[in-house]
Amino acid sequence: MKDIQSQHDGRNLDIDKVGIKDIQYPIVLSDKEKGRQHTVARINMYVKLPHNFKGTHMSRFVEILSNHSSNIDLYKVNDILEEMKEKLDSEESFIELSFQYFLNRKAPVSGQSAMMDYHCRYVGSAGAKGRDQVLTIRVPVMTLCPCSKEISSYGAHNQRSYINISVRMKKMVWIEELIELAESCGSSPIYPLLKREDEKYVTEQSYNNPAFVEDVVRNVAEKLMKEDRVTWFEVSSENIESIHNHSAYAVITRSK
């Protein structure tokens, strides 16, 4: 059969990335605590296509994914990226994984625990300019409005907020480390399971630690500035305002 994809293309245009998008796959990740964690990922895999080739070979991406899915170590994604370059005959390869990551969280007083989900995204590439990797986590926290607390005779509006941290790393940072960093930067962490004594604790702790959306991103940025493994970061917070039908939002991006 004719291999149309391998034919010559005369338009003189490299394609930056070509491949498969939004394939869902069960994966097994390496996990700081338990060693291994099963989850489900939405995955994109691309390679660069030089200007003289008409097309890439889409089925090979799925073959490579299939070979690696039962053991994806974010610390060793380079193996996959190298295999992509080789099997797809390209000088640059890219992989993007979005998944829920689960951690056991203990309630602050009762100590009762359950799993909580954190949305994560890993983007890795390998090419002429070397390797690049950006890890993004989304951590839900509670924020209580300093202005509302100050001006009101009692109470203060508060809400669920999502802190998004993206880091470019020269050495891997554990997902668990970033989650803990983020949880310390709102008015209070949030939990999957709270008994009454825990609910009292969380309510009072958040009232004692009011934080604007601006405070949250500054709190996180201050800590990441001191983190040597991180060469670039972006931190945003989106507060699902309890008094509005829209969000308050702030973002800080820094290269180091």
Give the footprint of its own copies on residues 44-73 (CB under 8 A).
44, 46, 49, 54-56, 58-59, 62-63, 65-66, 69
Only segment of 2-10, 81-89, 126-134, 176-184 that touches its own copies (CB under 8 A): 2-10
128 contacts its own copies (rule: CB under 8 A): no
| Least gap, CB of 74 to its own copies (angstroms) | 17
111 Ramachandran zone, left/alpha/beta (phi>0; psi -120 to 50): left
Do 57 and 65 touch, CB atoms closer than 8 A? no
A 10 A CB-CB count for 121 gives 17
User: With CB under 8 A as the contact rule, which of the stretches 36-44, 71-79, 163-171, 172-180 interacts with its own copies?
Assistant: 36-44
Q: Is the dihedral of CA 185, 191, 98, 95 positive or negative?
A: positive
At closest approach, how far in Å is the CB of 169 from its own copies? 21
For residue 22, CA distances in Å to 98, 121, 244 come to: 9, 13, 33
x-or-dash pattern for its own copies, window 140-179, by CB under 8 A?
Answer: x-x-xxxxx-xxxxxxxxxxx-------------------
Q: Rule CB under 8 A: is residue 4 a binding residue for its own copies? A: yes
Look up residue 152 and give its amino acid: S
Please tell me whether residue 124 binds its own copies under the rule CB under 8 A.
Answer: no
Unique residue bearing structure tokens 């390797």: 131
Give the residue with the Cβ less far from its own copies, 53 or 171. Answer: 53
CB closer to its own copies out of 11 and 171: 11
Tell me whether residue 171 or residue 248 sits nearer to its own copies (CB atom): 248
- The bridge status of strand 158-169 relative to strand 93-106 is unpaired
